[in-house]
Amino acid sequence: MTNHPATIAADERAQESAEAIARLTGRDHHEIAVVLGSGWAPAADLLGRTVADLPITEVPHFAAPVVNGHGGRIRSIDADGVPVLAFLGRTHLYEERGVDAVTHGVRTAAATGCRAVVLTNGCGGLDSSWSPGTPVLIRDHINLTGTSPLHGAHFVDLTDLYSPRLRDLCREIDPTLAEGVYAQFPGPMYETPAEIAMVRAIGGTLVGMSTALEAIVARAASMEILGVSLVTNLAAGMSGQPLSHQEVLEAGQAAAERMGRLLADIVRQA
C-alpha cells in the first residue's frame, strides 16, 4: 500500500485484528476470504467444516452490524484443506463509521494471508429476466458513493478488477451464471426510479450499497477478487412494488443452498 498516515493506521488496525483471529481460531494463516452480504449468511454452513466461530465484536476494530440479517460473526472454515476466513456480515458506508471501517474486513483478510476474496451481496437487478434468487457474477463496477477507500496519491489499476479467471471457474461450475455491472450507492435509502434510469444509461445492471469500495482495497492489497451478487428484487420502478429489506432476506434464504454450494466449489478450486 502507501505510506500515507491514514493507510498506515488502517493497516496497523488490520494487523491487530489478524493477530487476534489467529489467537482465537488457532490458525495463523488463511488462503481465501469470503464476505457474506445481505441474505447470504445461511450459505456459510455449506462452505466446509467450521474450525472456529467468533462473534465479530471479539475481534478488535470490528463493530456489530446495525441491521437485522447482516450477520455479525467471523468463521474459520476448513474447505477440504483450504483455510477459509468467512465474514458473516460487513460494515456499510451508511453506518457512518468511516470508509476505513467499511474496508477493514478486507484489509484484515489480506493481513491473515488471504490471496483471494469472494465478495457477495444482495442487490437490485435491472434485467427483468433475473428473478429474485438469481446469482450474477460481477464483471465490473461503478462507484457512485462519492468517496474513495484509498488515501493520498495511491494510484491503483482497476482494469480486470473482478478476476476473469475466477469468473471462468464459476461458469465451469455453473454455466447458467450471468454477468453484470454493479453500481454501489451510499444508501441507506433505496434508489429512486430516476436513479435506476441513470444507472441503466451508464451501463449498470445491478445496484446495491456495498462491495465496490471493498474490491478497490482488495486490489490495492494484491488480492484476486470475485464478486457475486444475489438479485433479491427488481430495481426501483421496474415492478411497481415498494422495496423492502425483508424481501432481500427472504430471497437469500430461498437461494441459500444453491449459493452455498457454488461458493463451496469456488473456494476449493480458487
Q: Is residue 102 within 8 Å of 209, Cβ to Cβ? A: no
Three state DSSP letters for 132-193? CCEEEEEEEEEECCCCCCCCCCCCCCCCCCCCHHHHHHHHHHCCCCEEEEEEECCCCCCCCH
Q: Is the dihedral of CA 145, 122, 166, 182 positive or negative?
A: negative
Q: Is 119 exposed, middle or buried (0-12, 13-18, 19+ CB in 10 A)?
A: buried
95 is catalytic: no
Residue type present at position 257: E
Rounded to whole angstroms, the maximal C-alpha distance in the chain is 51
Which residues on adjacent β-strands are paired with residue 116? 32, 224
Residue 256 CA: distances (Å) to CA of 29, 120, 143, 146 = 27, 12, 27, 32
Torsion of CA 137, 260, 171, 129, to 10 degrees: -50
C-alpha angle 56/11/147, rounded to 5°?
Answer: 85
Catalytic residue among 191, 247, 250, 257: 191
Centre a 10 Å sphere on the Cβ of residue 121 and count the other Cβ atoms it contains: 27
Would you name the residues annotated as active-site residues?
Answer: 191
